[in-house]
């Protein structure tokens, strides 16, 4: 129980302090404490990293290796974003668009509540707690979407809340069906405990379990942004400030996908060769195809990366359908690193150019070469080009799909990935090349490049240094 307190106390305290502390101090304090939180998380959870199968904190609260990696990734993403946020708000002040102190206090309080909610998601060993935690991520992140306080942000926030709330209602219904599956015609005690459901999966009422999984897939899939339930995602990502967009894409989506993985693990334990897994793989493929086509015609720089997030969600759902925990996490890791870098760089360019419209952006390589170079590298990384880490994940997924006899899905996925690659590079090429934009005012470009450069370097190291054999197995929820 003490370990659980260590994981929760700093974000909870920061959320409260941020509402009352002087804003300039908050902007410096929050990044420092959040990086310290990352160190605490690594220290507390190191037994899982060293081979302990799971750590039990309380009834319904436990963590395994997969959860440990996702908590570390989430805390790292938030640390990077709040560190860059200090620059983002400083650049706004320099441009004469300073945000009100009240807005900044609410931003930092919401960020810490958001981190607390996301941390809780990966600690849940109970489907009921998992549902509550994922709903909490929606409520805590809504103020970040509404940060700009204009009509577009208001529309995006309402769409985010309504669509995700409807989706999460489906997940609640699915949770009820899974609970019913543990009590209808089985000798076991009714339970929502995930590890118990996996252990006794063969005793569950499979029709009810399957129905529960489908409803959870729809519910959590809405929160993750799978096609055609993705409608909230482009608006929310486009209207949030750049550090918030980066957190929504690089951390929030992983929480909903983790919920799908947890429920899929119960199905896998009950019937390893169920057609449900084929359904998940097909849904992932459809999402990638749809996103790749939507990427072809985009006019808003941030919406471009939002649809790229939908594509990567499809890839992660595809990995879940293949039953590969390592490939699911590897894709999530590389997507988070590359997409956070892209959103932060895009925020820099939008602030300097004064527009989000792609047709009004050009010549960044003339105006700010360091941003142009990092943008190109991050774009290659997120599209799965070698030698970046996403290339390893995507090639491994395609190889696994073909070895399982899913040739058609692999071929469709390959074509869709190729379309996405061409579409993203075409848009980014227009932004980078050409004559410089009149009125482009970069603010401290070297400082603004530190976090994106670290993230791009991270995905490059993953691509060059990964041992692919390590990622060819599978992790259950317990292991």
Decide if pLDDT at 299 tops 90.
no
The pLDDT of residue 476 is above 80: no
Q: Hunting for tokens 């060819």 — which residue is that?
A: 472
216: tokens are 């959870």
Percent with pLDDT over 90 in the chain: 43
What would the mean pLDDT of 114-142 be, rounded to a whole number?
A: 92
pLDDT in tens, 22-75: 888 988 999 999 999 999 999 988 888 877 677 888 888 888 888 899 999 999
Model confidence at 282: pLDDT above 70? yes
State which residues form the domain around 180: 2-471
Give a yes or no: residue 80 inside a domain.
yes
Task: Tell me how many domains the chain contains.
Answer: 1
pLDDT at 227: 87
Specify the range with the lowest mean pLDDT, choosing from 87-96, 142-151, 301-310: 87-96
Q: Choose from 86-100, 232-246, 331-345 the range with maximum mean pLDDT.
A: 331-345
Contact yes or no for 221/253 (Cβ under 8 A): no
Q: Is residue 417 part of a domain?
A: yes
What pLDDT score does 477 carry?
37
Average pLDDT over residues 120-128: 92
Average pLDDT rounded to a whole number, residues 106-117: 93
Q: What is the pLDDT of residue 114?
A: 93
In this model, does residue 188 exceed pLDDT 80?
no
pLDDT of residue 143: 92
Separation between Cα atoms, residue 336 and residue 332, nearest integer Å: 6
Q: Are 330 and 393 in contact (CB under 8 A)?
A: yes
Query: If you write DSSP's letter for every residue of 44-65 in order, what string do you get?
Result: HTHHHHTT-SEEEEETTEEEEH
H/E run at residue 227: none
Query: Own/partner pairs for 128-136, CB < 8 Å, 24+ apart?
Result: 128/60, 128/175, 128/192, 129/60, 129/61, 130/194, 130/259, 130/262, 131/168, 131/171, 131/172, 131/175, 131/259, 133/255, 134/168, 134/171, 134/220, 134/223, 134/255, 134/256, 134/259, 135/165, 135/168
What ranges in 271-324 are assigned the alpha helix state H? 275-296, 301-321
Write down the pLDDT at residue 474: 47
Please tell me the predicted confidence (pLDDT) of residue 470.
52
pLDDT the model gives residue 478: 30
Instruction: Kindly state whether residue 477 falls inside one of the protein's structural domains.
Output: no
Give the pLDDT score at 116.
94
pTM over 0.75: yes
For residue 340, what pLDDT band results from cuts at 50, 70 and 90? very high
Band of residue 392 on the pLDDT scale cut at 50, 70, 90: confident
Give the per-residue pLDDT at 184: 67
Nearest to 83 by CA among 380, 456, 341, 458: 341
What gap in Å lies between CA 65 and CA 45, rounded to an integer?
9
- Identify whether 260 is part of a domain: yes
Residue 479 lies in a domain: no
Task: Determine, yes or no, domain membership for 478.
Answer: no
Is the predicted pLDDT of residue 479 greater than 50, yes or no? no
Q: What is the reported pLDDT for 186?
A: 57
The mean predicted confidence, pLDDT, of the chain is 87
Q: How far is CA 437 from CA 357, 359, 434, 440, 463, in A?
A: 13, 11, 9, 6, 34
Share of the chain above pLDDT 70, in %: 95
In whole angstroms, give the CA distance from residue 261 to residue 279. 14
Has residue 107 been placed in a domain?
yes
Q: Given this model, what pLDDT does residue 228 score? A: 86
pLDDT for 185 equals: 54
């Amino acid at each position: 129980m003490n370990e659980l307190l260590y994981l929760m106390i700093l974000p909870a305290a920061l959320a409260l302090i941020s509402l009352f502390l002087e804003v300039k101090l908050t902007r410096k304090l929050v990044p420092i404490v959040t990086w310290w939180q990352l160190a605490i998380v690594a220290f507390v959870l190191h037994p899982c990293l060293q081979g302990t199968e799971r750590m039990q904190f309380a009834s319904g609260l436990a963590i395994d290796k997969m959860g440990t990696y996702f908590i570390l990734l989430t805390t790292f993403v938030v640390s990077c974003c709040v560190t860059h946020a200090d620059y983002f708000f400083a650049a706004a002040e320099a441009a004469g668009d300073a945000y009100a102190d009240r807005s900044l206090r609410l931003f930092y309080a919401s960020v810490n509540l958001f981190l607390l909610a996301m941390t809780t998601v990966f600690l849940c060993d109970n489907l009921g707690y998992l549902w509550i935690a994922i709903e909490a991520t929606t409520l805590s992140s809504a103020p970040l979407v509404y940060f700009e306080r204009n009509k577009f942000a208001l529309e995006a926030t309402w769409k985010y809340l309504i669509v995700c709330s409807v989706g999460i209602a489906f997940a609640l219904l699915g949770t009820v069906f899974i609970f019913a599956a543990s009590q209808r015609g089985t000798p076991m005690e009714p339970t929502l405990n995930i590890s118990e459901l996996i252990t006794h999966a063969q005793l569950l009422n499979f029709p009810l379990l399957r129905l529960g999984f489908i409803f959870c897939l729809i519910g959590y899939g809405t929160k993750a942004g799978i096609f055609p339930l993705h409608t909230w995602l482009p608006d929310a990502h486009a209207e949030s400030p750049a550090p918030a967009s980066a957190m929504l894409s690089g951390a929030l989506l992983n929480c909903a996908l983790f919920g799908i993985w947890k429920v899929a693990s119960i199905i896998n334990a009950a019937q390893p060769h169920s057609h449900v897994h084929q359904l998940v793989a097909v849904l992932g493929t459809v999402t990638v195809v749809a996103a790749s086509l939507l990427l072809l015609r985009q006019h808003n720089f941030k919406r471009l990366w939002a649809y790229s997030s939908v594509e990567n969600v499809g890839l992660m759902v595809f990995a879940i359908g293949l039953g590969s925990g390592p490939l699911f996490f590897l894709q999530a890791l590389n997507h988070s690193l590359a997409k956070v870098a892209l959103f932060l760089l895009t925020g820099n360019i939008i602030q300097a150019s004064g527009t989000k419209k792609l047709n009004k952006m050009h010549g960044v390589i003339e105006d700010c070469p360091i941003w142009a170079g990092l943008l190109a590298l991050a774009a290659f990384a997120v599209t799965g080009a070698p030698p970046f880490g996403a290339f390893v994940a995507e090639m491994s997924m395609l190889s696994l799909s073909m070895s399982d006899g899913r040739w058609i899905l692999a071929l469709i996925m390959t074509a869709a990935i190729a379309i996405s690659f061409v579409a993203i590079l075409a848009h980014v090429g227009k932004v980078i090349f050409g004559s410089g934009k009149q009125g482009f005012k970069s603010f401290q470009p070297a400082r603004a490049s530190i976090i994106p450069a670290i993230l791009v370097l991270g995905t490059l190291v993953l691509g060059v240094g990964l041992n692919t054999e390590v990622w060819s197995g599978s992790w259950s929820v317990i292991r």
